[in-house]
Structure 1
Amino acid sequence: MAYHYLDEKSKLKSFLTLSFLLLLLFINPSSVFSKSPRPITDVEIRQIKNECYADIESGLWGQQCKTSMTAKENCALKCLSPICYELIYESDPLEEGEKDLTRSQEYKYCMYKDGESLCYML
């Protein structure tokens, strides 16, 4: 009798797991089958970055992001792609007046390569 109870319990658990996976598939099928249906475009990046700037200006990212243009840029880069920011800038954020073209290109490449992290925002 106890064995039958465990069997029913595991069937229920399997059913709930399957139901959850089907729900995920229904909600966002592209995230289940592929990383990204297409690379993110410059226009989309610019659009998301502008939304990040608006969030920063409204205070959603805290006052530390509004102390200078460089602080704002660091926050915008983190907002735009937390994954790429962590890889490229987190250990050495931009400093006042710094223009780092090499890291800028690395960051941009990271976004194109890992654009799926951004696509959910569109």
Structure 2
Amino acid sequence: MSNNNNFRLPYFLLLLILLSSSDFLPSVFAKSQNPITDSEIKKKKSECYADIDSGLWGGHCKSSSIAKENCALKCLSPACYELIYESDPLEEGEKDYIRGQEYKYCMYKLSVGESLEGVRGSFDY
């Protein structure tokens, strides 16, 4: 029994050191300190457009400019697309600035690890 405890002691000490380390604990439990930027969103959206153009998202995403935009929004953030647009996708000629702001806010909240509760309707005037 004594040998078994001696074997566990180094692992216990290592765990204790890691948990008490000021570098380890915040990285495990803290929210991101770097929210997504406009340039990161723009870059990722360009990558989504490229995937759509290459056919990775299917022919329906290339059927019109608005279909392409809906697919790009879904590619960019499936969770935010589902929350903001899935029940009422963008239509030809529609400019929906309020939902656009909600979508961007949703992406911000996701990037910092926050709940999406209250995102929808947060920019209604």
Normalised TM-score (structure 2) = 0.65
The amino acid across from 2:76 in the alignment is: L
The offset of 1:115, in angstroms, is 1.7
Partner of 2:77: 81
- Give 1:65-80 correspondences, 5 Å limit: 65-80=61-76
Question: Closer, same or farther in 2 for the Cα pair 1:116/1:51, shift >3 Å?
Answer: farther
Change (3 A) 1:69 1:77: same
CA deviation after TM superposition for structure 1 residue 116, in Å: 5.4
Scaled by the length of structure 1, what TM-score is found? Answer: 0.67
- What do you get for the CA RMSD once the two structures are aligned? 1.8
- Structure 2 counterparts to residues 25-44 of structure 1, below 5 A: 32-44=28-40
- C-alpha distance in 1 between matches for 2:84 and 2:32: 21
- Count of equivalent residues: 88
Q: Residue 96 of structure 1 corresponds to which residue in structure 2? A: 92
> Which runs of 5 or more residues in structure 2 are unaligned?
1-26, 114-125
Give 1 or 2: higher helix fraction: 1
Separation (CA, whole Å) in 1 of partners of 2:79 and 2:32: 15
Q: Which moved more, 1:83-92 or 1:32-41?
A: 32-41
Larger radius of gyration: 2
- In structure 1, what is the equivalent of residue 122 of structure 2? none
Query: Are residue 49 (structure 1) and residue 45 (structure 2) matched?
Result: yes
Matched, 1:62 2:58: yes
SS in 2 for 1:114: helix
Instruction: Give 2:110's aligned residue.
Output: 114
Q: Which residue does 2:22 correspond to in 1?
A: none
Cα distance in structure 2, aligned partners of 1:116 and 1:79? 19
Runs (4 or more) in structure 1 with deviation over 6 Å come to none
Per the TM alignment, residue 95 of structure 1 is displaced from its structure 2 partner at its CA by 0.5
